[in-house]
Amino acid sequence: MNIYDISKQAGVSIATVSRVLNGSDKVSPSTREKVLQVIEQNSYTPNAFARSLGLNSMHTVGILCADSSDVYLASAIYYLERELRQNSYASMLCCTGYHLEEKKKYLQLLLSRNVDALFFAGSNFVEDTEKNNAYLFEAAGKVPVFILNGYLAGDRIYSVLCDDRLAVNEMTESLFRRGSHAPVYLYRSLSYSGRKKIAGFREACIKNGITDADKRIFASPVSVHETAAFLDALEKEGLSFDACVTSDDELAVGAVKFALSHGRRIPDEFQVTGYNNSLISTCSTPEITTVDNRVEFMCTTAVSLLMQALDGKNIPARTVFSGDIIQRETTNVF
Count the Cβ atoms, other than its own, within 10 Å of residue 92.
15
Buried/exposed code over 12-35 (b: 16+ C-beta within 10 A; e: otherwise): bebbbbbbbbbeeeebeeebbebb
51 pLDDT above the threshold of 60: no
Taking every pair of C-alpha atoms in the chain, what is the biggest distance, in angstroms?
A: 84
CA–CA separation, 93 and 118 (whole Å): 10
Structural domains in the chain plus CATH codes: 3-52 (1.10.260.40), 60-162+295-325 (3.40.50.2300), 164-292 (3.40.50.2300)
CA geometry: angle 148, 59, 305, nearest 5 deg: 35
- pTM for the model stands at 0.82
Q: What is the average pLDDT across 263-287?
A: 96
pLDDT in tens, 120-175: 999 999 988 889 999 999 999 999 999 999 999 999 999 999 999 999 999 999 99
pLDDT at 48: 55
What is the tens place of the pLDDT at every residue in 95-122?
999 999 999 999 999 999 889 999 999 9
How far is residue 274's CA from residue 330's CA, in Å, rounded to a whole number? 10
Q: Side-chain half-sphere of 249: how many Cα atoms within 13 Å?
A: 24
The reported pLDDT for the residue numbered 57 is 62
pLDDT in tens, 177-186: 999 999 999 9
